[in-house]
Amino acid sequence: MAGVNTLARDVRQCTICKDFLPLGPRPIIQLHEQSRILIAGQAPGLKVHETGIPFNDASGDRLREWLGVSKETFYDEKKIAILPMGFCYPGKGKSGDLPPRPECAPKWRAALLESLENIQLTLVIGKYAMAYHLPNESKKVTEVVANWRAHWPLIMPLPHPSPRNNIWLKKNPWFVAEALPKLRERVASLLAESTE
């Protein structure tokens, strides 16, 4: 099995779906063999594509708030790995960004996940990541997130932290009241362990 560094290098050079990407390939990932927390998201947005920094947008601000971590901690690859379902910006659709390109996960995901041997918590964000990481769950994001205790403490399904989901958050106050405190507590514990 290839090591994390080799895989990361190969992913960053990937052009498998170059003919389908409006702005060309720019795979954006963050990982290290010591990573304890994995963020399994959807695909980079336009701002992330432009900067090359994962979650460098309003969604990232909210996600960091949910986790109770600073930008410095969030971007420490020895603590947090970030592997979206699609590594490149897929382009705009009628109601937001297009889905992650389907070529990424079959080509790279199994080997990457296998190489991350120290992951203690996987945050599964949005329906595409849920379909991959929690294939036996409902297809409805709200139902999967509401059932978070079934996967705790190894996996935490999350709605997308996009500002587009403000209505979802208002309709589901239990998420902020019940799930987020547990998530912050677990993240803090894992990060404390990683510095010992």
What's the pLDDT score for residue 196?
64
Q: Does pLDDT of 69 surpass 80? A: yes
- Do 90 and 99 contact (CB within 8 A), yes or no? yes
- Percent of residues, the chain, with pLDDT higher than 90: 92
Read off the pLDDT of each residue in 127-131 and give the average, rounded to a whole number.
Answer: 96
- The residue ranking higher by pLDDT, 1 or 168, is 168
Say whether pLDDT at 63 is over 80. yes
Q: Could you tell me if 105 and 132 are in contact, meaning their C-beta atoms sit under 8 angstroms apart?
A: yes
How would residue 194 be classed by pLDDT, with cut points 50, 70 and 90? confident
Cis geometry, peptide bond prior to residue 25 (ω within 30 degrees of 0): no
pLDDT over 90 at 195, yes or no: no
139 Cβ partners below 8 Å, 6+ apart?
A: 127, 131
Average pLDDT value for residue range 178-191: 98
Domains and CATH numbers, the chain: 4-194 (3.40.470.10)
The pLDDT score that the predictor gives to residue 148 is: 98
